[in-house]
Amino acid sequence: LLHQVGHRLSPTRPYDEAEPLPGELMISLLPVWHITERTFELFMLSRGCHVVYSGIRWFKNDLAKHQPQWMVLVPRVLEKVAMGVQDKFASGSAVVKGLVKLFTATSTLKNKHDKIRK
């Protein structure tokens, strides 16, 4: 793992636009002792980025307040966020439900076409 991080930071390696720039901000929702969090924390700090630590209670407010360019999460957290969004849409009006259905179908179709093109 350290070799991979070192390779990504190599001064002879061309810049990748998917890499963080100095001054950008990462928000972390993982505990500081989590290996994924620790790896991303050290990587982001080595790139001159800022790190904000959040929690489930404050995550929504922290997103609005800090507007991060990067986030470090695990799949379970994303599942919880998705369930919350789905619950909110499910309690919406018929128009909202229809729009969600349309956008979901459009996204699914696009993903299928993208897989076929590869």
User: Is residue 10 pLDDT above 80, yes or no?
Assistant: no
**What's the pLDDT score for residue 13?**
60
Q: pLDDT per residue over 22-40, tens digit each? A: 999 999 988 888 898 999 9
Structure token digits, residue 31: 């505990």
Mean pLDDT of 45-49: 94
| Residue extents of the structural domains in the chain | 1-73, 74-118
Q: Which positions ≥6 away from 96 have C-beta within 8 Å?
A: 89
Cα distance between the two ends of the chain: 29
**What's the pLDDT score for residue 28?**
93
User: Is residue 3 pLDDT above 70, yes or no?
Assistant: no
Q: Do 90 and 82 contact (CB within 8 A), yes or no?
A: no
Q: Which residue has 């810049």 as its token pair?
A: 15
Q: Do 8 and 47 contact (CB within 8 A), yes or no?
A: no
Q: Which residue has 């307040």 as its token pair?
A: 65
Is the pTM higher than 0.75? The answer reads no
Strand blocks (E) in 1-118: 25-28, 50-53, 70-72
